[in-house]
Each structure stands twice: as C-alpha cells, then as structure tokens.
A and B are shown apart, each in its own frame.
Chain A
Amino acid sequence: MLSLFRTGLPAYVMLAALAFLAALPFISEWVDNAFLMDLFLRLMVLAIAAVSLNLILGYGGMVSFGHAAYLVIGAYAVGIPAYYGIYDGFTHIVIAVLGSAIVALLTGAIALRTKGVYFIMITMAFAQMVFFTFVSIEEYGGDDGLVIDQRSEFAGLLDIEDGLTFYYFVLVSLVLALGLVHRIVHSRFGMVISGAKGNERRMQAIGFPTYRYRLVCYVISGALCGYAGALLGNFTYFITPEMGDWVHSGELIFMVVLGGAGSLFGPVLGTAVFVLLEEYLSRFTQYWHFPFGAMLILVVIFTRGGVNGMFRWLGARIGLGAKS
C-alpha cells in the first residue's frame, strides 16, 4: 500500500481502476445519479492536464506555474471556431494542439533560459499574459466568456454530443495520454530529461544540449495540456478566461504533487483526491477552501512527496514500520 504511491501503481490496481472508470456510466445509471458521470468526466479531463504537467514537473523538474493557460488555449480552440460555425472536431484538436505548442515554444524558449524560482514566476507571468489577452478580446466575450452551442463533430465517426460516447472518448484520451508519457519517459529522450533534472551539468558534459531537450519536453507537455483544454471546452459548453487564472495553475501543481510527482499514475490519483475532496468538502460548507488550504499547508510542512510522503509519515507514526 505504501509503495503504491511511490513507484506508480502496480498493474492490477491500475486495471481495477480502469475497469471502474469504464463501468462508471453504468454504475451512475444504476444508482440513478447522473451527476456522478459529470464528476468523473471533469476528473478525467483535469487528470489529462495533470499528466501533461507531470511530464515536465515530475520527470523534468520544471515547475510550470502557468499550465492552466494551455487549458484555456485548448478550450478557445474549440470555442472560437464554433463562434464562426466551424464544428469540425479534427480542426479543433489540431488548432488546440498546435496553438498550445506554439505558445509553449515561444514562452518556453524564454522561460527555460532561467532556473528554479525564476522559472516558476515566469511561467506564471506568461500564463497571466494569455489570461489577460483573452479577457481583453471583446469579440469573443472577454471576461464573460463564450458559449459553445454544440460539441465538436467528428465527420459522423463519433457523436460526442452523446454523453456516453463523450465519456469513453475522454477515457480513451486519458489512457492514451498516460501511454504517451510512459513511452516518453522510458525513451532515450526521457532519460536525458530526467538526467538533466538530477544533474544538468553532467548531462551537458557528456554532450547533450539540455536546453533543447527541455524545450521539446515543455512543448509536448503544453500541447497535451492544450488537448485537455479542447476536451474541457467540449465538456462545459462554456469557456471563460478565468479557467486560466493562476489559481488554477496552482491547483494543477497541487494535484501532481499530491499524487506524487514523477510517477506515471500519481497525477491521476492526485486529481482524483483533489476533485473528490473538493466535491465532498463543498457539500459541508461554502467555506471549504479554508480546510482545503489548511490541509495543503499541513501536507507540505509535514511531508515531502505528497500523499506518498504523507502515508509514509503516518505509517512511521502509527508504527507500521515503514521506512521514512
């Protein structure tokens, strides 16, 4: 149980989780609670964003505090064409992925010149730039946001207007995103990325241009998050710049760290804990952000390494003999 959060979940736990997610629409129907499906749709969309952030944060040590910006870019890549009556899903996805990749390339090229806390603040500042840009374009609703009349169309192949189809579309997307990240981190490219996290000078000394490797990794991560944004736009039918507010970037980091940065399934677990906790706490009190924030502070002060560390810390306290 304790190692579960450190090295990624063992295959059978993941298969069980996957089976649960696959069966959820039927469970939702069985308990007659349509909201359940909405909750898990949101969870999965955010999980894809968290998985994309984990690629650079967990494996590459690049703490991007502006990842929610790519969610917004992806969402507007659906919303703006839809505003002009273009509902073709392939177009939406290409714009979302390419648009995010270009923004990631431009901002990453500057941000990656710096390190550590400068990087955190610069990614945050660039995300605010994206945020204010969408706020100031009144043609697309500015502050008030943009309503999307219908979901993307996939030339008759898929009808994601249908709730069940959309659910499985997102589920498959999540699995593919996990597969992509798994492939990347186990490739030679991924080794260089995590090598540069550990000791950049050494990687350079043995001949790797780490800046370029990092930039490519940052662009891939941004593009994947843009894809999550396109799903988010389709999910909510309504987009506002507010989705890219830096507070949401902070939440994404929280999800990744909570589940355990640098493990494949950690971000999914962190997102699940985050979304379900948010749902649970907000039923008790409208002031749920307070216990939530306090918990966040306590987790950070008393543990290192998110839920993983917390479990180990608890384990050590109650004498489970877990090594801390």
Chain B
Amino acid sequence: MDWGLFTIQMLNGVQLGVLLFLLAAGLTLVFGIMDFVNLAHGSLYMMGAYFCATLTQVTDSFILGVLLALPLTALLGWLVELIVVRALYTHDHLDHVLATFGLILCFDTAVDFIWGPTGMAIPLPAFLDTHVDLVGGHTFPTFRILIICAGLAVAALLYFLVAHTRIGMLIRAGASNRTMVMALGVDIGKLFALVFAVGAAFAGLAGMLIAPITEASIGMGNEIIIVAFVVIIIGGIGSIKGAFVAAMLVGLIDTMGRSFLDQLLKLFMSSQNAETSAPALSAMAIYVLMAVVLAFRPQGLFPPKVR
C-alpha cells in the first residue's frame, strides 16, 4: 500500500466532503424549516461559479471575485425565494419538485444565453497555484487545502451561528416545530428568506471553490445536487450535524472507492474481474451506503428531535 497516495486520496475525500457539506447545509435547513424541496439548489451552486468566473475576469483577482460573488448569489437566492418559492409553501412536495425543476431549466438556459455553451475557466492567483509537499515525495495542490480550510471554517461558523446565537435558536426551533415558533410571534417568513439566501450563498461558495479546478459549466449543479440529497437523507433531513457527518462519509467513501476498490477486490477475485467491476461498484458505493443506512434508520443518522 502506498501511504502517500492514500493520504492524498483521503484529503481529496475530505475536500469533496466539505463541498458537499456547503451544499447540503442550505438544502437541509430549507427543508427542515419550511418543508420545502429545492431541486434548484444546484443551480445556485452553478450561478455562484459563473458570477465568480465573471467577476474574477473583471477584477483580475480570484479573491475579489469570490468576495463580490458571495453577496450576489445570496441576493439571487433571496429573489428566487421572493418570486417563486414563497408562492409554493402551501403546495405539496410534488409541486415543489416540479416548480424547482422548471427553475433548473430556466437557470441552465439563462447561463447558456448569457455565458455561452462552453464552460468558463477561473484562473488561480499564483500564490494558490502551488503544491504542498507530503511524505514520500507526493505533493498536494495548495488550492485544495484552501478548499478544505474554507469549508471547515464555514462549518464552524455555521455551528456557532446555529448553536449559540439567538437567530440560530430560532432556526433550530423552526426546524423542529414551525407552528410553535410562529405562535411565539416570530416572523418565520422573514427568518426563512434569510436562511434561503444564506443557503444560496453557501451553495454558491461551493461552486466558486470547485470552479478553478473543473471550470464553471452548464448543468454542473445537476449532478452534485443528487449527491447532496443523498447526504441529507443519510444525515437526517433538517440536521446540520447529520449533514456534516454524512457529507464527510460520502466524500471519503466515494473518493476512496474510486481509487482503491480495484485493489481491494483483487484480494479475492481475479485482477481482470476486479478491474471491470470496480468502476461500476464504486459508482454505486454511496447509494449502497444510503440504502444500508435507510434499511436500519429510515429517518437518517441524526434526525432532528421532534417534528
């Protein structure tokens, strides 16, 4: 076993986990508080990436690009809530799914119209475009370390906000019993608009962080949003802690599966069989994980206490 490579893949897994958490946090809060299913959350991830790409080109600085794109994505999220989402609270889940599906079509086409069908690269500043030396002569990109640090910092900030501030108390109360919070005189509509906008900013941040590696492209949110759904199902819908644990679990299992499953399988089957079945199996790994978790705990690992 090459432990250097193992460490690198572990870090890649954590990096994916952190991105998934940024997406899943908004998704799970929006669902937990308002019982609203937002398929278009991935579109906000994409819009964040495109805003950042454009602003980076205009200002010639990735850092400035991110700082300016963040409030812009939050504003977009707030507008989406105001124009579309607010009209749908009283509808059922199927309507949420259909309307936000329509939103995805609109966003994807709008991006095609404004930015064109090809993706947009985001150039990294020189000080981030370097490598860090690891044991055994391996290197790891500095930028990926920045992603991990930024993600963990946001997670810590979110934890502090939710667990130790008044607004966090209202969010938690809203997630476990919305009616009671309303009865206590809290304007749950305003609270929710805030959560929706902050969730959009988090999703956008995830898009901005990944875009320098993969480019900003149309439909980039549509694949990862499913994985984010898997994360919040495993973690228990409405739970920030669950989202964090599940995001790390999913990120690690997915990355490690893709890198090492063939070697694992070679231990007990022919190397040819291992090499053909490993890609398919590793593609399934996180869904199998979800199935196993649900088979034992249909409500997820850390469900919010009372619903």
Q: Mark interface residues in B251-284 (1 if CB within 8 Å of A CB, else 0).
A: 0000000000000000000000000100110111
A125 with B229, Cβ < 8 A, contacts A135-B283, A300-B98, A300-B99 known: yes
Distance, CA A122 to CA B226, complexed state (A): 10
Q: Say yes or no: A63 contacts B93, CB within 8 Å.
A: yes
Q: Say yes or no: A253 contacts B97, CB within 8 Å.
A: yes
Q: Is residue B220 within 8 Å, beta carbon to beta carbon, of the partner chain?
A: no
Q: Say yes or no: A133 contacts B294, CB within 8 Å.
A: no
Name B's A-contacting residues (CB within 8 A): 31, 37, 39, 84, 87-88, 91, 93-95, 97-99, 101-106, 108-110, 112-113, 222, 226, 229-230, 233, 237, 276, 279-280, 282-284, 287, 290-291, 294-295, 298
Q: Is residue A295 within 8 Å, beta carbon to beta carbon, of the partner chain?
A: yes
Segment 99-147 of A: residues with Cβ below 8 Å from B: 110, 113-114, 116-118, 120-122, 124-126, 128-129, 132-133, 135-139
Measured CB to CB, the nearest residue on chain B to A63 is: B94
Distance, CA A247 to CA B105, complexed state (A): 9
A122 with B294, Cβ < 8 A, contacts A295-B102, A300-B91, A300-B102 known: yes
Q: Say yes or no: B233 contacts A122, CB within 8 Å.
A: yes
Q: Say yes or no: A297 contacts B84, CB within 8 Å.
A: yes
Distance, CA A113 to CA B222, complexed state (A): 26
How far in angstroms is the closest Cβ of chain B from A305?
10
Measured CB to CB, the nearest residue on chain B to A286 is: B112
* Residues on the B chain within 8 Å of A320, using CB: none
Name the interface size band of chain A.
35 or more
* Residues on the A chain within 8 Å of B294, using CB: 110, 113-114, 122
* Residues on the A chain within 8 Å of B84, using CB: 297, 301
The number of A-B residue pairs with CB atoms under 8 Å apart is 124
How far in angstroms is the closest Cβ of chain A from B186?
24
* Residues on the B chain within 8 Å of A247, using CB: 104, 222
Residue among B88, B98, B99, B283 making CB contact with A133, cutoff 8 Å: B283
Task: With A117-B237, A293-B105, A296-B99 given, name 17 new contacts (CB 8 A).
Answer: A113-B295, A128-B226, A129-B283, A132-B284, A247-B222, A250-B97, A253-B97, A253-B98, A254-B98, A254-B101, A288-B109, A289-B105, A289-B108, A290-B105, A292-B105, A293-B109, A300-B88
Q: Say yes or no: A304 contacts B95, CB within 8 Å.
A: yes
Q: Mark interface residues in A278-318 (1 if CB within 8 Å of B CB, else 0).
A: 00000000011110111111001100100000000000000
How far in angstroms is the closest Cβ of chain A from B28?
12
Q: Say yes or no: B106 contacts A136, CB within 8 Å.
A: no
Q: Say yes or no: B287 contacts A125, CB within 8 Å.
A: yes
Q: Is residue A235 within 8 Å, beta carbon to beta carbon, of the partner chain?
A: no
Which A-B residue pairs are the 3 nearest by beta carbons? A293-B105, A296-B102, A132-B283
Q: Is residue A257 within 8 Å, beta carbon to beta carbon, of the partner chain?
A: yes
* Residues on the A chain within 8 Å of B230, using CB: 121, 125
Distance, CA A246 to CA B233, complexed state (A): 17
* Residues on the A chain within 8 Å of B280, using CB: 133, 136-137
Distance, CA A254 to CA B109, complexed state (A): 18
* Residues on the B chain within 8 Å of A137, using CB: 276, 279-280
Distance, CA A67 to CA B226, complexed state (A): 15
Measured CB to CB, the nearest residue on chain B to A111 is: B294
Q: List 12 A-B contacts (CB under 8 A).
A: A63-B94, A113-B295, A117-B37, A120-B94, A121-B37, A129-B287, A136-B279, A245-B222, A250-B39, A289-B109, A297-B84, A300-B88
Distance, CA A294 to CA B104, complexed state (A): 10
Distance, CA A246 to CA B106, complexed state (A): 16
